[in-house]
Amino acid sequence: MTERYDVLIVGAGPAGLAAAQAAASHGARVGLLDAQARPGGQVWRHDVRRAAPRAARKAIAALHQVEILTQHHVVACEDHALLVETPQGAERLTYGALVLATGARELLLPFPGWTLPGVAGAGGLQALLKQGWPIAGKRVVVAGSGPLLLAAAATLRAHGARLLGIYEQAPAATVNAFARQLLHWPARAAQAISLRARLAGVPYRCGSIVRSAHGEGQLGAIEIEGARGVHRLECDQLAVGYGLVPNVELAGLLGCAMEHDGAHPQVQVDSLLRTSVADVHAAGELCGIGGLAAARIEGAIAGHAAAGDDEAATALLPQRAQARRFADLLRRHFALDPRLHALATPQTLVCRCEDVTLAALDGFTDARAAKLATRCGMGACQGRICGSALAELGCFPRGGVRPPLFPARLATLALAESEPSFSDEYRGN
């Protein structure tokens, strides 16, 4: 089955929602697709126990003129068309303009014991809780970097976890300097104060990193290195995350030019968020990690531009500039401590899907060669976790992307085979 949209948006998080509303305001036929069962993305993921934030409810309610295509996984692409898989089968979606709002994922860095049951990404555990994962009464430690740790910790406490502490890798002086800067950003200052109030009594330690996790078949304790030395802390669950990495895989498959912010690529865009590929726009974390406010503003800019109203898009540029200044502030103050890059030992698993150790990758400087020799990156995540971690550690950049973007049914691949252009893309011709 083939459907055509004037504007097709991939990703129903804050950026995608804003893009859909903006594009639909011009009378365009808009399709908003997402892999999840409900719109909201990771930031506004549906919580089975708690109501969504008012901003999320308002943004979703504004989509009455938008076709919401949930549980749609993009498998492959061709010129002005996407091959998607749904619970009912495969579909071909064509478009006049495409907005990529595929968001970001957590950056996880390997350390001894990080594959133990009970160790999870901070955002990943937050998502599990919202879907009903039992956490009440369990002893939980949150560690890593950035304000997202506070949001994850607040969700944990709201779901009944016993929070033992929040361990931020940035030094206290840097975190305090960031807090003082919040005086220039009243809304974000209010948000930070609200989060700290909800976490009253929970220790917050700066300059601290989790060096290792220990347990026999299940997490039982972690080792923390901080300003006062190294100490061991018994716990049932560790939520750890070191920031975010843009999900650029679909953009790469489409041929969009990239630029790098440190070790990780982001999509190159012009002032109106147009990529190097005609009729393809990008918004939100794809353009560099910027947070909720930047994502919503950029989504609106991309939506207006995709619908052909450059004037409405241009009017929002000052707001985007302000939001991006705050993102730069975050990046400077929560830069990762080099100690984190040295935690993995030669025996530490780097690729959890294929059980590949760091030592097994010695001598490789190319992701493709390492994959062929060790199967690193050939598991279910297709290198999204280990590839980003290895790039952060300075081993080698992530390899190129080929379809299918995610594991797909044979029937879907058969449809791709029946379409000459999809078939050529799939074969890499």
Q: How confident is the model at residue 141 (pLDDT cuts 50, 70, 90)?
A: very high
Do strands 229-234 and 221-226 pair parallel, antiparallel, or not at all (unpaired)? antiparallel
Q: Would you state the pLDDT for residue 426?
A: 52
pLDDT of residue 421 exceeding 70, the answer is: no
Percentage of the chain beyond pLDDT 90 is 80
Q: Which two tokens stand for residue 202?
A: 């929970």
Burial-class residue 296 by CB neighbours within 10 Å (0-12, 13-18, 19+). buried
Alpha-carbon separation of residue 236 from 111, 129, 218 (angstroms): 17, 15, 8
Find the DSSP H helices in 159-219. Answer: 172-181, 186-198
Q: What is the pLDDT of residues 336-366, one digit of tens each?
A: 999 999 999 999 999 999 999 999 999 888 8
Question: Band of the pLDDT at 413, cuts 50, 70, 90?
Answer: confident
pLDDT at 184 (0 to 100): 87
* pLDDT for residue 419: 67
| Distance of alpha carbon 126 from alpha carbon 287, whole angstroms | 24
- 185-195 pLDDT, tens per residue? 888 899 899 99
Q: Please classify residue 71 by burial: count the beta carbons closer than 10 Å to its beta carbon, then call 0-12 exposed, 13-18 middle and 19+ buried.
A: middle
- pTM comes to 0.93
**Predicted local distance difference test score (pLDDT) of residue 429:** 44
**Mean pLDDT to the nearest integer, 92-96:** 96
**Helices 14-24, 54-61: crossing angle, 10 deg rounding:** 30
Between CA 298 and CA 345 the distance in angstroms is 41
